[in-house]
Structure 1
């Protein structure tokens, strides 16, 4: 894991949450788990080794200094493990690249394919690359062995609601950047006379902050358009389960979209634009609808009650629960 955010994270930290969940699940299955992670990390039952510096985003010099620290650790312990699962830099694996230990290199965003070409030209063995969607895999699978393994959530943390009132709100849950499409969610809510709960952090990047001030904030009235700020896991569960649908009008190639799975875990279907992994995460007419335009999002919302919320949550659990995804990773040990 790249240093910078502790495991488990207290706030932001998607991969750090995954590392924590998988570590705990591996333990439940009887495996011994060591973690090489940021200072301040603590995972019950695991041996935690710290490297690098805490603080996100990491300073460039601190990030560079962490590389030889990771190299030293992996070389020293190269014969201690059956599997090394790397959620950090590909470069971390260099000392053990041609060692017999099984290695999984997991990506969570669009991949620099030039790095893949370079690494597989070197002598290597027992190495497999994974990414959380077929779309994301396609950005890096220029060489080497690749497998799609979806991201996971812990379904035990979510309480599904199998029915909501007709006047239940919609929800938009994401960072309030233009590419996430909050302005479109507001337009859909207003055109269909629905309430909209907006949850997410406001960016400090000047252009994105201006977007919020000019295109989002003027619509927040506390009655139809309600902004609840950033939310923790408990609050997220509360708002998701009371909503009739999540709107996901994204305009970028999202590698997975964890909030979609979280919404489904609460029984709340998702209506999303068909960018990136969205068509893979949403199963049409089971867990929501994939649409190309705002107008078709409005049309899908008109038939959202046709989605069986219990079936939505059940199917999402079958696909994305941490127990399911952990088994997929363990099976890769024999694949490599």
Structure 2
């Protein structure tokens, strides 16, 4: 099968550092190729896969509306001219990209990794269309956009072969927090849990660049980083994530928003590390109580569940997550659609 993958410009595929969606697109491209399909990628500058690559736009997340309009027109022309060259167009970028081929015979999957703007779905499905499937990365996320058209849940994936199972950790192993240091990610709660239970806390993540979250970081978080109990490690690359996640006894996920998926939870599980997360967004879909972590309702329950963390077998934690979230499993789900 001839497959075209589309991703918005802004960050290259694969991403040099931060870029969860771009990393997904790269993984699916390589997995489709491994399965014997002919894959073409349309994405921002400096993008690379084992198949053919066309690039457009600029890699700048703050690019102007005019720049995004030029990118849209480029994709429209590209798709119209090459619409008969592909059997499947798998779009991770803007929904509007698909307008010129909506009613064409080519099969189309539109994938979302965040809450969906329902107006766009209603407008697109009101147009003549065929062979169009919408997917989102959790049942929660599907529920935000499922107002028209055909919808399916297909979870996000990671490549488990890139993560090493750590079967055992010391009783005094640190806790771990990994994610952007924005208020909605709940690091302040993770710090409180670590202090209340006399555990070390390793922290990996990007310092925020928005004014409100940077103020939160400077006033609430940074003063508590002491380098001894509350340890900020900086933004971690894949190798570092593998190292620290594997040596932690649990990942804390005390989110204050409805997380569409939460890739870091699966990354922890791939290392055998169970996750304790607040019951919001996709958390109940990713964590299975007692198998790969615990779902809790508040800080006090998170503290309580730490007493049971040793009841989770780390080998079984990874195996359970593999069957649900490995890229080999998820890529086949897309192709089966």
Which band: TM-score by shorter chain? over 0.9
Match in the other structure for 2:81: 76
1:216 matched residue in structure 2: 221
Q: What is the DSSP-based 3-state SS (H/G/I as helix, E as strand, rest coil) of the residue aligned with 1:263?
A: helix
Counterpart CA distance in 2 for 1:73 and 1:127 is 19
**Aligned equivalents of 2:221, 2:165: Cα separation in 1:** 29
Match of 2:29 among 23, 48, 61: 23
User: In structure 2, what is the Cα distance between the partners aligned to 1:223 and 1:54?
Assistant: 38
Within 5 A, what are the aligned runs for 1:136-285?
136-285=141-290
**1:171-222 C-alpha deviation (Å, 9 max, x unpaired):** 0001001110000000000000000001101112222111111111111111
What's 1:133 paired with?
138
Deviation at 1:56, TM superposition (A): 2.2
Deviations 1:243-272 (A, max 9, x none): 000000001111100000000000000000
Q: How far apart are the structure 1 equivalents of 2:82 and 2:319?
A: 41
Answering whether residue 35 of structure 2 is matched by residue 32 of structure 1, we say: no
Q: CA deviation at 1:60?
A: 2.0
Separation in structure 2 between the aligned mates of residue 48 and residue 209 of structure 1, nearest angstrom: 37
- Whether 1:290 aligns to 2:289 is no
Structure 2 match to 1:327 = 332
SS at match of 1:301: helix
> Is residue 119 of structure 2 the alignment partner of residue 100 of structure 1?
no
Aligned length: 331
Distance 1:53 1:214 in 2: 34
RMSD: 0.7
2:225 and 2:54 mapped to 1: Cα distance?
46
1:59 aligns with 2:64: yes
| Alignment partners' CA distance in 1, 2:97 and 2:209 | 31
Counterpart-to-counterpart distance in 2, 1:236 and 1:25: 22
How big is each residue's C-alpha offset from its partner over 1:277-331, in whole Å with a ceiling of 9 and x where there is no partner? Answer: 0110111100100000100000111100001110000011111000000000000
Structure 1 CA distance for aligned equivalents of residues 141 and 112 of structure 2: 8
Q: TM-score normalized by structure 2?
A: 0.97
Q: 1:49, 1:228 → 2: CA distance? A: 36
Work out the CA distance in 2 between the residues paired with 1:14 and 1:57.
Answer: 17
What is the TM-score of this pair, normalised by structure 1? 0.97
Using the TM superposition, name which of 170-179 and 203-212 deviates more. Answer: 203-212
The residue matched to 2:38 in structure 1 has which SS? Answer: coil
Show structure 2 runs of 5+ residues with no match: 1-6
Cα distance in 2, alignment partners of residues 148 and 180 from structure 1 = 24
The alpha-carbon deviation at position 57 of structure 1 amounts to: 3.1
For 1:77 and 1:222, the matched residues in 2 are separated by 55
Q: Comparing 52-61 with 241-250, which one deviates more in the overlay?
A: 52-61
Distance in 2 between the 1:87 and 1:221 partners? 40
Residue 303 of structure 1 aligns to a residue whose secondary structure is: helix
Q: Distance in 2 between matches of 1:164 and 1:274?
A: 26
